[in-house]
Amino acid sequence: SQQGEEDPQALSIQEGENATMNCSYKTSINNLQWYRQNSGRGLVHLILIRSNEREKHSGRLRVTLDTSKKSSSLLITASRAADTASYFCATSDMRFGAGTRLTVKP
Amino acid sequence: EADIYQTPRYLVIGTGKKITLECSQTMGHDKMYWYQQDPGMELHLIHYSYGVNSTEKGDLSSESTVSRIRTEHFPLTLESARPSHTSQYLCASSTSGQPQHFGDGTRLSIL
């Protein structure tokens, strides 16, 4: 079975709102990565957080990591219609979850 | 700006044909991966390689085979395609501790 599991499976919000996606994993990790996938395309790396980090920021993205709970969250602030995509977490052994499909309505 | 290339982008072919999906990267990455992904679904790791002449099967059983004769090249072959092989195939590469770079995928349809 896959290592990471995202929650929720689908999320629909209005432009300007914040979007939060969660990821749980099963085993020990060195790092956790978040990726974005536009429909019909490959994945694009967004942010990597190492196991000794608790929070990381990149532009409108904020990632947290709780290794005791084996969970991570991705927050996208001030969402835009262009943020519409699927978002995946991946563990350091390159296993992916099922993703969260985010729709941002203009 | 892609540094990892997959060809063909789309392929529609009949049952029983031999297929090779190409994947090349120009970044000198030692690790390369193949994933299978049905539309809107999760990625399943089917093969990976940590270097030349090293290949391993992933989590999802696949009838495909791979080879890694050169660092930059990681082709995937289906000896006899079946409708159950219809899917999107994504290739990725990375180096230790760094995120993966993905190609745009090959969308395969077996009639």
Name every residue whose Cβ is closer than 8 Å to that of residue A12 and which is 6 or more positions away in sequence: A102, A103, A105
Question: Residue A36 and residue B78: Cα distance in Å, rounded?
Answer: 28
- pLDDT tens digits, B11-31: 999 999 999 999 999 999 999
**The pair of three-digit structure tokens given for residue B86, joined into one six-digit string:** 């219809």
Strand, coil or helix: what is A99? coil
| Burial status of residue B18 (CB atoms within 10 A of its CB: 0-12, 13-18, 19 or more) | exposed
pLDDT reading at B6 higher than 70:
yes
Is A89:A74 a contact under the CB 8 Å cutoff? yes
Q: Residue-wise pLDDT tens for chain A (106 aa)?
A: 445 678 899 999 999 999 999 999 988 899 999 999 998 889 999 999 999 999 999 999 999 999 999 999 999 999 999 999 999 999 888 888 889 999 999 9
Mutating which of B42, B44, B101 best tests the A interface, going by the most A Cβ atoms within 10 A? B42
| Burial status of residue A34 (CB atoms within 10 A of its CB: 0-12, 13-18, 19 or more) | buried
> For chain B, how big is the Rg over CA atoms in Å?
13
Is A42 close to B103, i.e. CB distance below 8 A? yes
pLDDT reading at B60 higher than 90:
no
Sheet architecture: strand order including A55-58: A5-7, A19-24, A71-76, A61-66, A55-58
Q: What mean pLDDT comes out for the span B101-107?
A: 95
Query: Taking all residues of chain B, what is their mean pLDDT, rounded to a whole number?
Result: 93
What is the reported pLDDT for A3? 59
Q: Which residues of B touch A88 (CB under 8 A)?
A: 42-43
- The DSSP code for B70 is B
Query: Is any Cβ of chain B less than 8 angstroms from the Cβ of A34?
Result: no
Query: Is any Cβ of chain A less than 8 angstroms from the Cβ of B99?
Result: yes
What is the reported pLDDT for A40? 83
What is the reported pLDDT for B83? 95
